[in-house]
Amino acid sequence: MSATAASPVNAEPYADTELACLAGAKAALYRWAATVATRDVDQVLALYASDAILVPTLSNQVRDCADSRRNYFDNFLSNDGLVCDIKVFKKRVSRKLGTVVVGGLYTFVYRENGQQRVVPARFLFTFERIDDQWLITGHHSSMEA
C-alpha cells in the first residue's frame, strides 16, 4: 500500500466537518461580542453578510440592509462603556454544514445619563461560512421578559 493510498483522497477537509462548523461559529460569536466592546461601527458591520437580517435589542425596526444596520449600530455603539457578556448558548449545525444557529443569553452593560444600565437579553444568531469566513446572516436579540 502506497502512502497515497493510505490517506483518503475524498476525505472531507476539516473545515467541512460538524466540529469545525461549531468551532467556527463559537469563535465568530465571541469575536462579535469583543468587537461590540470596541464600539467601532465598521468593524462590527464587517462581521455581517451583506444580506444579513438584524432584529436588534433596543429597536423595533427590522434591519435588512447595510444602511439600516449601520444606523442601528451608530446609535447602539455610542453608548459609553458598552460591553457584552455572553452568559449561555446552544449551537446547532445545519445538515448541509457551513451554517450554524446559535441561541442563548447575553447581557449588555453601559452607562446612560451617568448611570450604569444592565440589559439582559436573549439572542439567536445564524452564522454562515462565506468565502472562508464565518459571517452573521441573521441576528435576533430581545430584552429578557
Can you list the positions of beta strands (E) in the chain? 48-55, 80-93, 99-112, 115-130, 133-143
Q: Give me the pLDDT at residue 15, please.
A: 55
Adjacency order of strands within the sheet including 48-55: 48-55, 133-143, 115-130, 99-112, 80-93
Query: Which range of residues forms the domain containing residue 62?
Result: 14-143
Task: Report the range of poorest mean pLDDT among 2-11, 34-43, 101-110, 112-121.
Answer: 2-11
pLDDT (average), residues 65-86 = 96
Residue 117 lies in a domain: yes
Bridge pairing between strands 99-112 and 80-93: antiparallel
DSSP label of 20: H
Residue 48 lies in a domain: yes
In angstroms, the CA 136 to CA 45 distance is 9
Q: What's the CATH number where 107 sits?
A: 3.10.450.50
DSSP label of 8: -
Residue 1 lies in a domain: no
* Each residue's pLDDT tens digit, 85-111: 999 999 999 888 889 999 999 999 999
Say how many domains are in the chain: 1
Residue 9 lies in a domain: no
Residue 6 lies in a domain: no
